Structure 1
Amino acid sequence: MPKTKKINFTYARGRRKTASARVRLIKGKGETLVNDKPFEKYFPGITGKYLLEKLLKTIDVKDKFYATIKVKGGGKMGQLDAVINGLAKAFVALDKEKYKLPLKKIGVITRDARERERRKVGTGGKARRKKQSPKR
């Protein structure tokens, strides 16, 4: 049986709404994969690229690390925010003194706790909507 290469990595979990991302941060050169697809293919468009660039530029680690990420639940934006949150937490777990303050400043470590509000009975379809009452 061939020997597999042991990889040292830092693990973190990021969340947003119903999306959950498991991040493995690995030192070295490589391609960041999200659900076995390149980051740019999984999150097409400018927003994903911009948020990742902003995170990496803030702590000056471009081309020094790569990550393998598994993300599930929610929509694409929720998943993207969960991935960014997970990456930030992984960098903090790697070196707290060096990375925590700059990442906290741009607001990527803090989990956004806002969730979808449940629909209530008798409200006419929405969470906070009130049914129309007759005038007389």
Structure 2
Amino acid sequence: MELKGKTEFKQPVEVIWNALHDPEILKEIIPGCKELKLVSENEYEVSMKLGVAAVKGEYSGKVKLEEKEKYHYYIFNAEGSGSPGHVNAKMDCKLYPTENGCVLEWDCNAEIGGMIASVGSRVLSGIAKFMAGKFFKDVEKVSLKNTVTN
């Protein structure tokens, strides 16, 4: 499955970049995240509880941030498995400053297998795009909230 998207933020690149690399923020915004544990500088173990259509379950896996060019680019790799199936995803993320904040463009390739794949590619594609959009919009909400409280 291939997905692409773009999210515009009202905050500068540095704020969004830092939020996307903050374990506490990631734990709050990753859909269904129950636990996020830093295992090395750029690698996390994650456990999640998600439901896609009628297929619900718990997953465990790893998230790794690679090939980082601070404030501009990184690759988000995720792999996970659970009773409903497995997923391996690679997402290229590019950040650009704008007059009013910044833009994040993302391009994702994901391999999905097991019972969850039976939901169908159109449904999965729509759900995945919705979840990715929500994830990136939540980055801004949570980072704004943290800016106000700090």
- TM-score scaled by structure 2? 0.29
